[in-house]
Amino acid sequence: MFVGMRGLRMIMWTILLVLAILHRASSHGIQPLSRIAIHKATLALDNLAYVKASPTVLGLNGQNTEWITVEYSSPNPSMDDWIGVFSPANFSASTCPAENPRVYPPLLCSAPIKFQYANYTSPDYKVNGKGSLKLQLINQRSDFSFALFSNGFLNPKLVAVSNTVSFANPNVPVYPRLAQGKQWDEMAVTWTSGYGIDEAEPFVQWGPKGGHQQHSPAVTLTFERSSVCGAPARTIGWRDPGYIHTSFLKELWPNRVYSLRLLMFLKSLISDTYLDIGIEIWYTYKLGHRLFNSTYVWSQEYQFRASPFPGQNSLQRVVIFGDMGKDEADGSNEYNNFQRGSLNTTKQLIKDLKNIDIVFHIGDICYANGYISQWDQFTAQIEPIASAVPYMLARLATSMLCLSL
């Protein structure tokens, strides 16, 4: 069959369109949290049902991640019962305004930050109505509660709510991410905290490892519900993003690691041997907030290597990837099988970290799709990498949805 140039071009465009749709479908999929119609939830509290979470205070040793145990029981267990994790804990107090006169105000207006089926690790739940889950929580500036729902995700019924669980200090500075500055000798540090500039002064304490540590001030940004473009970011996906601080560490000394070709006498007949010698310049840093009563709140200490100077003969190992996504180590939210792969990516990068100088995550970041809680979880997932080497983010055209990235 004869196909003219025009026909050929049409076929090409069709193939490209199909590929673009396939990419969208395969890489974006559905945000697992959007499967839950929390705004349709109704109250069906049952005195015989309970949810208990322990321990109740987390991060007592300064850690920002902790595993907890949730135990629950229902007199009417079913396969589609599920546990939702809510933060802030008083989730049932938040109601959304009606978006138009024909829509009734929903009962609940806060999506869970994660969820899991009640029988996930308790196969007998359906029989005896008893179950438990091990869940990982990260410090996200607020307390947590756990709720048992029946009747699946589309018309959930709230059966029982747990006690409250909280980090010892929910506002501490967390999850630093580095970025190479505009100048070669400049590093930007960005982090999240619960301290606005009317409560505390944000800064970075930093300097050469073991040497003089100086303070650099940080700028602070945030955004409000009214500044995001629509549902779900403005409705059930909204969560206070806290404060995002950035400080610029300047006039860094260049890292100098020379790769010398050393001809070793005994090995010279077999192969040449390379030996790295030189000076590795390590910097240490801590995130700080000086409260107005003159006390300080600190993060843990982190470290990074300075960049070499322009034109310096050096080996730079660069990692470039995109479309990573995020996932929960405890198996919650699991829906699209590609999400699990993001944990493999971060695990492998953490393992190879000493062989990596810079990371480019070129876009499509965590597929939050308007569920703002996911951003903290993403920054927590990449923290071991982003706090140690520059983590350069960009965004793809497919990320232009409201806070979807």
Interface residues with Fe ion (CB under 5 A)? 27, 323, 364
Distances (CA, A) of 235 to 28, 142, 280, 326, 373: 21, 18, 49, 22, 13
Nearest in space to 373 (alpha carbons), one of 193, 141, 95, 148: 141
Nearest-approach distance from CB 153 to Fe ion, in angstroms: 24
Nearest-approach distance from CB 363 to Fe ion, in angstroms: 8
List b or e across 248-257, with b for residues whose CB sees 16 or more CB atoms inside 10 angstroms: bbeebeebbe
Q: Which is nearer to Fe ion, 235 or 369 (CB)?
A: 369
Q: Which is nearer to Fe ion, 190 or 342 (CB)?
A: 342
Q: Which is nearer to Fe ion, 343 or 353 (CB)?
A: 343
Query: What gap in Å lies between CA 133 and CA 72, rounded to an integer?
Result: 9
> What strands, in cross-sheet order, belong to the sheet with 358-361?
318-321, 358-361, 391-393
Q: Which is nearer to Fe ion, 323 or 330 (CB)?
A: 323
Nearest-approach distance from CB 368 to Fe ion, in angstroms: 13
CB 158 within 8 A of CB 145: no
Nearest in space to 132 (alpha carbons), one of 141, 123, 140: 123
Query: What gap in Å lies between CA 93 and CA 224, rounded to an integer?
Result: 19
Nearest-approach distance from CB 25 to Fe ion, in angstroms: 10
Q: Which is nearer to Fe ion, 25 or 98 (CB)?
A: 25
Q: Which is nearer to Fe ion, 328 or 364 (CB)?
A: 364
DSSP code of 252?
P
Nearest-approach distance from CB 17 to Fe ion, in angstroms: 16
Distances (CA, A) of 92 to 43, 110, 282, 287: 10, 8, 48, 34
Query: What gap in Å lies between CA 369 and CA 28, rounded to an integer?
Result: 9
Nearest-approach distance from CB 28 to Fe ion, in angstroms: 6
Q: Which is nearer to Fe ion, 288 or 325 (CB)?
A: 325
Query: What gap in Å lies between CA 254 and CA 188, rounded to an integer?
Result: 16
Nearest-approach distance from CB 364 to Fe ion, in angstroms: 3
Query: What gap in Å lies between CA 399 and CA 405, rounded to an integer?
Result: 5
